[in-house]
């Protein structure tokens, strides 16, 4: 079986995009009206809120040590308006089309935003991509096709996409993510609560199982893959209504059973002390519980 761990994630797609986009820009620059680059700075207090609404383009947010928010907007053309305002300890960043007739490429704005580590982020980005690194505040991200790539996030993360992918690397906060056809990848996470639901997307979980933590991964079709190490401690409830469950973990039966229950495409049992709760469910997809490489 092909492991989800070997499939390209958002990061790989971005690498490809980094090669393709400059090429496209070279060809596109002749036809579009000139864009521009705008930079703005906002002084903020601890725990600021930054709300970003950018229908098309990439949103890149990085944490820094300054008590200020810096926004760099790169507009493809002047057909799109950029507006950044501060109200108290909140900064609103908004882009919107000025013309109904502009092509989508002409409405693109790429945002690079630097924020204090404890910033709360609210991001709406329909198409493009969202990249956030080292921000420790809560985060709410909604996209349509844009992929969401988070690194070293620590707050409560709520992410919703339609078919954008989601990747979380070294995240430690509570994570709730939902999508219809987006793929999810949880890599090296140390989270006490993960709830992930996608319809046709695949889900890869390759992280630490914390004591008393809950991990609920659910899809309709596609593959759910969970990686474990021999020392991990979790209680597993895995069932696929119409699909298959493949398991490499040595599970002990639940306390009230003398054998490992395997009812149809369902599997229940504990590994080691069963301290974390792992619930995997699929309608007609495949569930793989595999040893970590």
Angle at 206 between CA 18 and CA 180, to 5 degrees: 65
H helices of the chain, where? 10-28
> Counting contacts by CB under 8 A, is residue 20 touching another protein?
no
Of 41-49, 132-140, 209-217, 238-246, which segment contacts another protein by CB under 8 A? 238-246
Judged by CB under 8 A, the chain residues 251 through 280 that form the site for another protein are none
Which residues touch 8 (CB under 8 Å, ≥6 apart)? none
Cα 174 to chain centroid, rounded? 12
> Counting contacts by CB under 8 A, is residue 239 touching another protein?
yes
What is the three-state SS of 68-99? EEEEEEEECCCCEEEEEEEECCEEEEEEEECC
> Counting contacts by CB under 8 A, is residue 21 touching another protein?
no
Q: Strand, coil or helix: what is 211?
A: coil
Half-sphere exposure of 228 (CA within 13 A, CB side): 25
Instruction: Kindly tell me which residue out of 5, 72, 127, 158 binds another protein, with binding defined by CB under 8 A.
Output: 127
Distance CA 154, CA 17 (A): 27
Instruction: Kindly tell me which residue out of 107, 153, 159, 175 binds another protein, with binding defined by CB under 8 A.
Output: 107
Judged by CB under 8 A, the chain residues 29 through 58 that form the site for another protein are 55-56
Angle at 73 between CA 70 and CA 77, to 5 degrees: 165
Site track for another protein across 188-217, x = CB under 8 A: ---------x-xx-----------------
Q: How far is the CB of 187 from another protein (least distance, A)?
A: 25
> Counting contacts by CB under 8 A, is residue 180 touching another protein?
yes
Give the torsion through C-alpha atoms of 77, 83, 84, 87, to 10 deg: -170
Start-to-end C-alpha separation, the chain: 14
Q: How far is the CB of 200 from another protein (least distance, A)?
A: 6
> Counting contacts by CB under 8 A, is residue 129 touching another protein?
no
Judged by CB under 8 A, the chain residues 56 through 85 that form the site for another protein are 56
Distance CA 161, CA 155 (A): 19
Q: How far is the CB of 146 from another protein (least distance, A)?
A: 9
Q: How far is the CB of 172 from another protein (least distance, A)?
A: 27
Of 44-52, 67-75, 111-119, 281-289, which segment contacts another protein by CB under 8 A? 281-289
Instruction: Kindly tell me which residue out of 181, 202, 286, 288 binds another protein, with binding defined by CB under 8 A.
Output: 181
Residues of this chain that bind another protein (CB under 8 A)? 55-56, 97, 100, 102, 104, 107, 126-127, 144-145, 162-163, 180-181, 197, 199-200, 220, 239, 241-242, 281, 283-284
């Amino acid at each position: 079986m092909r492991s989800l761990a070997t499939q390209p994630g958002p990061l790989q797609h971005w690498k490809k995009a980094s090669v393709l986009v400059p090429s496209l820009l070279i060809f596109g620059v002749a036809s579009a009206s000139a864009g521009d680059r705008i930079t703005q700075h906002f002084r903020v207090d601890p725990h600021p809120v930054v709300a970003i609404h950018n229908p098309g383009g990439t949103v890149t947010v990085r944490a820094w040590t300054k008590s200020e928010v810096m926004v760099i907007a790169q507009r493809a053309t002047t057909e799109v308006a950029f507006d950044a305002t501060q109200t108290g300890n909140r900064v609103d960043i908004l882009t919107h089309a000025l013309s109904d007739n502009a092509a989508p490429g002409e409405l693109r704005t790429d945002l690079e935003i630097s924020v204090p580590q404890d910033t709360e982020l609210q991001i709406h980005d329909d198409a493009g991509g969202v990249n956030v690194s080292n921000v420790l505040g809560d985060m709410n991200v909604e996209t349509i096709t844009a992929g969401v790539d988070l690194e070293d996030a620590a707050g409560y993360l709520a992410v919703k996409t339609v078919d954008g992918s989601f990747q979380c690397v070294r995240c430690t906060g509570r994570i709730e993510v939902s999508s219809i056809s987006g793929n999810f990848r949880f890599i090296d996470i140390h989270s006490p609560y993960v709830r992930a639901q996608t319809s046709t997307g695949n889900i890869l979980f390759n992280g630490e199982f914390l004591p008393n933590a809950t991990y609920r991964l659910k899809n309709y079709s596609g593959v759910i893959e969970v990686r474990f190490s021999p020392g991990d401690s979790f209680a597993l409830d895995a069932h696929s209504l119409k699909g298959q469950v493949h398991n490499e973990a040595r599970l002990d039966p639940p306390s009230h059973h003398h054998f490992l229950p395997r009812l149809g495409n369902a599997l229940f049992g504990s590994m080691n002390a069963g301290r974390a709760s792992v619930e995997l469910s699929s309608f007609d997809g495949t569930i793989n519980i595999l040893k970590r490489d």
